[in-house]
Chains A and B, each alone.
Chain A
Amino acid sequence: MLVMIIRRLVQSIVVMLTVGLIAFAMFRYVGDPISQMVGQDTPIQVREQMRQELGLNDPVVVQFARFVGNTVRGNFGISFRIGRPVSELIIERLPATLELSLLAALFALVAGIPMGIYTGLRPDSWLSKVFLTISLVGVSLPTFFIGILLILVFGVLLGWLPTFGRGDVVHLGVWTTGLLTASGLKSLIMPAFTLGLFQLTLTMRLVRSEILEVMRTDFIKFARARGLTPRAINFGHALKNTLVPVITITGLQLGGIIAFAIITETVFQWPGMGLLFVQAVQFADIPIMSTYLVLIAFFFVVINLIVDVLYFVVDPRLRAESSPHGH
């Protein structure tokens, strides 16, 4: 298994580098950072000089080589817009995005799995139909629109929840958390719900269809024939068998959640990496853009690996297949 992990990692790095080069070649076209780094009456010559000093006039390959070289040494460059090392900025912003994403994923699982089980076991009950309909409406509207509607209702009209930002955060070393203060928790509710809604629907529908499928398989029929209680059948057998696809999708979706956090963070002015990235794109802040992309790719590789490892833990059949002595 270790060999597999290492091989996967190496392969991923090679492809990441290739994609990185392509992405980097693109950056030179996303805009001119200089025009926003100077005031309106700064002379053209000064602008040109800055461009030269920042290395923006070098060939793409040279810029990329410099980026890879620096990245390997842990130096992600300095943000054009904020004027601070990108690594510092990322460390500041990472907790906000991770807290939001994990909470959204948790919400999707905690609410989605029971709803999925229920709708799978009682496909014809009216509550199932309500769950299914509501969840479908949830995925039929763009995230940003749902976010604004929530702000309008719970922030402006009812005044229950804060409309933007993270509230007060507590510093635990380099990590900042909003989970320990009242305003921090209140601030998390709307963004996490907005971000998790899509995933919730996905999880629920997945669990439902898996349950539907499993309930018709022979081994459940045998279990019924053996006289096991419905509860034992449902949870002991049926649910266990739906876990593998749920893990896969959740794992894959976590990467999606982090990416979709871009929208949620923009709507709620959530000070995470997504917001940092959006503003970097508007500003053509190349160091932040490239670091963000590398980081997202890295997360994804790691998540993929964890999912694969979890497979082995959850599904004994896979373990048997991979082991040479299993047969």
Chain B
Amino acid sequence: MRLNFKALGLAVALVVAIAAAPPTPQAKELHWAFQGDIHSMDPYSLNETFSLGTLGNVYEGLVRRTADLKVVPALAVRWELKEPTRWRVYLRHGVTFHDGRPFTADDVVFSYKRATAKGSDVGGKLASVTDVRKVDRYTVDFITSAPNPIITSEWETWMIMSKGWADEHQADMPEGPSGAGASYAHLHENGTGPYTLVSREADVKSVFKAYPKWWDAKNHKGMPDRVVMSPIASASTRVAALLSGNVAMAYPIPVQDMKRVDDNAGTHMLVGPEVRTIYLGMDMFRDELLHSNVKGKNPFKDKRVRQAFYQAIDEDAIAAKVMRGLATPTAIMVAPGIIGYEKSFKRLPYDPEKAKALLTEAGYPDGFELHMDCPNDRYVNDAQICQAVVGMLAKVGVKVDLLAQPKAIYFGKILPPKLDTDFYLIGWQPDSFDSWNPLYNLLNCPEGKKGRFNLGGYCNHEVDKLTAEILSETNQKKRAAMLHKVWGIVIHDIATIPLHQQALAWGVSDKITVKQRADNVFHWYHVDMK
């Protein structure tokens, strides 16, 4: 047996030669990476920001949002209130789906039915609509159960599908990701949007190309011709892919790597406050906490204890160290850009002495013990925030056992029906960009459909009453006053401990310019390839 050194040398030479070969540039081709993949090509299967945001490149809603999140016409050109409960919507002429079928009122009626059918996850976006009627080929009426001034707010992500196409491929019923068989719409698309799907391998790579007949193409001359989307789960690998130029855009970038991306020749960061609010919730409905050494009573029912927790936590330190300055501490449960946000509300100051005094006053001079639940793969540095909170509470004598777990386990534990938690960290982003959504879902008394995600069971009937009025109030001034009042109550009650809005963290190559949306949605027509 003789080692063939010649062959080995040749192989090494070949490898070096391959390694040294320059990459071939493609004309206006955009490669980009996100931490995960979309779940389906069906725009009704999962109501989740990234999935719907990405599908927004292929499908379109009746309206869309600009880069600064204003609602503007898309497949609808205008809409008007005919009666308090009847909206008339005029559709855009001359739009075609990717397979060439024309877009008409029938498609809107069909899309309403499909989106509200069993198996659809986006029905909530049309919750107030009781019927959609075709008036003529390009006009439809939306009938609502009660006056709804913000009816269009969630329509960007209710995307219009083609009736003819769905009928042809038996895709007329939505299937959640649990669907028994791979439905046609799950793997194929037929939208009206700026891009069509070329090929797709889940978790590996999806390739899209520009749709030449897109109605708005003339206003987006610089947009890429081809888009290659590669999910990269590991944060370091994602950053490396951007730094090395393997992708031209990647997000989210971990906060600690932003400086590196900025300092690197050829890449820069695009940051801004995200509309998601990260907050801490407390169980205040049980008579006794599930995992505490305090028996016979629930300390969180006492506002002084909630305030002590609030003031024991140094949110500024969290923002500065854990988030590296890329978080905006907040006193209110909504972010700037959401209707109802006001910067006049101030956080209670960090004051451990006061916190200790409050605890003593409430009858816990030596603190107490409880559990805290936290995801470790959902929000930016979520587990690290919780770790820091545990340390800060320890300094005022409260001993917290931290359970930081992957989201699959975390949400199963804390969401109803289990609601197995004393104290938890969670984030919320209102899809409608209106305060009504978090008030109704997070802060109303949990009864029926109200307060479905009010895991701590905070209940103030005045808040409920105001929330209901806010939904149907059409006078903007009155509505603003009501919003101010209701947020004041929530903040005064310390219903939750709001922490911050995390920062959007997009890493971008200097070769392109990108418009960033505050809801972390990436639309490729917002890219200019120069």
Q: Is residue A266 contacting chain B, with contact meaning CB distance below 8 A?
A: yes
Identify the interface centre among B178, B179, B241, B428: most chain A CB within 10 Å of its CB: B178
Q: Is residue A165 contacting chain B, with contact meaning CB distance below 8 A?
A: yes
A89-B202, A159-B245, A164-B240 in contact; A35/B408 too (CB < 8 A)? yes
> 12 A-B residue contacts at CB 8 Å?
A35-B407, A42-B121, A43-B449, A78-B181, A80-B178, A84-B186, A148-B237, A165-B232, A186-B19, A269-B232, A271-B203, A282-B407
Across the interface, which residues of A come within 8 angstroms of B409, CB to CB?
30-32, 284
Which residues of B in the span 115-135 have a Cβ within 8 Å of any Cβ on A? 121-122, 124
Q: Is residue B21 contacting chain A, with contact meaning CB distance below 8 A?
A: yes
Q: Is residue A218 contacting chain B, with contact meaning CB distance below 8 A?
A: no
Q: Is residue A57 contacting chain B, with contact meaning CB distance below 8 A?
A: no
Q: Is residue A283 contacting chain B, with contact meaning CB distance below 8 A?
A: yes
Across the interface, which residues of A come within 8 angstroms of B20, CB to CB?
160
Q: Is residue A124 contacting chain B, with contact meaning CB distance below 8 A?
A: no
What's the nearest-Cβ distance from chain B to residue A263, in Å?
A: 10
Residues of B within 8 A of A (CB): 1, 3, 15, 18-21, 33, 39-40, 45-48, 121-122, 124, 175-182, 186-187, 201-205, 230-234, 236-238, 240-241, 243-246, 377, 406-409, 411-412, 415-417, 428, 431, 441, 449, 452-453
A31-B409, A32-B408, A282-B406 in contact; A165/B449 too (CB < 8 A)? no
Q: Is residue A151 contacting chain B, with contact meaning CB distance below 8 A?
A: yes
What's the nearest-Cβ distance from chain A to residue B251, in Å?
A: 15
Which residues of A in the span 1-29 have a Cβ within 8 Å of any Cβ on B? none
A189 x B15 contact (CB < 8 A): yes
Q: Mark A154-183, 1 if CB is under 8 A from B, else 0.
A: 011001111111100000000000000010
B417 x A44 contact (CB < 8 A): yes
A37-B176, A83-B179 in contact; A185/B15 too (CB < 8 A)? yes
Q: Give Cα A156–Cα B1 distance, bound, in whole angstroms.
A: 40
Q: Give Cα A182–Cα B246 distance, bound, in whole angstroms.
A: 15
For the complex of A and B, 8 pairs with smallest distance between CB atoms: A39-B47, A32-B412, A31-B408, A35-B411, A271-B204, A163-B240, A31-B409, A82-B202
Residue in B closest to A148 when the chains form the complex, CB atoms: B236
Identify the interface centre among B181, B204, B232: most chain A CB within 10 Å of its CB: B204
Q: Give Cα A96–Cα B491 distance, bound, in whole angstroms.
A: 53
A43-B452, A156-B243 in contact; A37/B201 too (CB < 8 A)? no
B234 x A266 contact (CB < 8 A): yes
B39 x A40 contact (CB < 8 A): no
B121 x A38 contact (CB < 8 A): yes
What's the nearest-Cβ distance from chain B to residue A266, in Å?
A: 6
Given pairs A38-B121, A151-B237, A165-B205, 10 additional interface contacts (CB within 8 A): A38-B47, A39-B121, A44-B452, A84-B187, A151-B236, A156-B240, A164-B33, A164-B238, A266-B233, A269-B233
Across the interface, which residues of A come within 8 angstroms of B201, CB to CB?
92, 271
Q: Give Cα A50–Cα B245 distance, bound, in whole angstroms.
A: 42
B121 x A163 contact (CB < 8 A): no
Q: Give Cα A155–Cα B19 distance, bound, in whole angstroms.
A: 11
Q: Give Cα A39–Cα B123 distance, bound, in whole angstroms.
A: 11
A83 x B177 contact (CB < 8 A): yes
Q: Give Cα A239–Cα B411 distance, bound, in whole angstroms.
A: 58
B47 x A83 contact (CB < 8 A): no
B124 x A41 contact (CB < 8 A): yes
A282-B408, A284-B408 in contact; A50/B178 too (CB < 8 A)? yes
B1 x A83 contact (CB < 8 A): no
B1 x A239 contact (CB < 8 A): yes
B46 x A37 contact (CB < 8 A): yes
Q: Give Cα A185–Cα B16 distance, bound, in whole angstroms.
A: 11
Q: Give Cα A51–Cα B248 distance, bound, in whole angstroms.
A: 40
Q: Mark A94-128, 1 if CB is under 8 A from B, else 0.
A: 00000000000000000000100000000000000
Q: Is residue A152 contacting chain B, with contact meaning CB distance below 8 A?
A: yes
Q: Give Cα A123–Cα B233 distance, bound, in whole angstroms.
A: 44
Q: Mark A252-291, 1 if CB is under 8 A from B, else 0.
A: 0000000000000011110100011011001110000000
A36 x B202 contact (CB < 8 A): no
Q: Give Cα A41–Cα B49 distance, bound, in whole angstroms.
A: 12
A35 x B124 contact (CB < 8 A): no
What's the nearest-Cβ distance from chain A to residue B374, in Å?
A: 15
Across the interface, which residues of B come within 8 angstroms of A40, CB to CB?
47-48, 428, 453
Q: Give Cα A53–Cα B180 distance, bound, in whole angstroms.
A: 10
What's the nearest-Cβ distance from chain A to residue B521, in Å?
A: 14
Q: Give Cα A191–Cα B48 distance, bound, in whole angstroms.
A: 33
B19 x A82 contact (CB < 8 A): no
Across the interface, which residues of A come within 8 angstroms of B452, CB to CB?
41, 43-44
Across the interface, which residues of B come within 8 angstroms of A50, CB to CB?
176, 178
A83-B40, A271-B201, A271-B204 in contact; A186/B18 too (CB < 8 A)? yes
What's the nearest-Cβ distance from chain B to residue A204, in Å?
A: 15
What's the nearest-Cβ distance from chain A to residue B416, in Å?
A: 5
A83 x B230 contact (CB < 8 A): no
Identify the interface centre among B15, B240, B409: most chain A CB within 10 Å of its CB: B240
Across the interface, which residues of B come within 8 angstroms of A33, CB to CB?
408
Q: Give Cα A174–Cα B121 distance, bound, in whole angstroms.
A: 34
Q: Give Cα A37–Cα B409 distance, bound, in whole angstroms.
A: 13
Residue in A closest to B14 when the chains form the complex, CB atoms: A185
Across the interface, which residues of B come within 8 angstroms of A185, CB to CB?
15, 18
Residue in B closest to A111 when the chains form the complex, CB atoms: B8
A42-B47, A182-B18 in contact; A35/B412 too (CB < 8 A)? yes
Residue in B closest to A185 when the chains form the complex, CB atoms: B18
Identify the interface centre among A78, A80, A269: most chain B CB within 10 Å of its CB: A269
Indicate which residue in A32, A151, A275, A279 contacts B240 across the interface (CB closer than 8 Å): A151
Q: Give Cα A92–Cα B240 distance, bound, in whole angstroms.
A: 26
Across the interface, which residues of B come within 8 angstroms of A182, CB to CB?
18, 21
Q: Give Cα A40–Cα B175 distance, bound, in whole angstroms.
A: 17
What's the nearest-Cβ distance from chain B to residue A90, in Å?
A: 13
Across the interface, which residues of A come within 8 angstroms of B121, CB to CB?
38-39, 42
What's the nearest-Cβ distance from chain B to residue A252, in Å?
A: 23
Indicate which residue in B122, B244, B417 contacts A156 across the interface (CB closer than 8 Å): B244
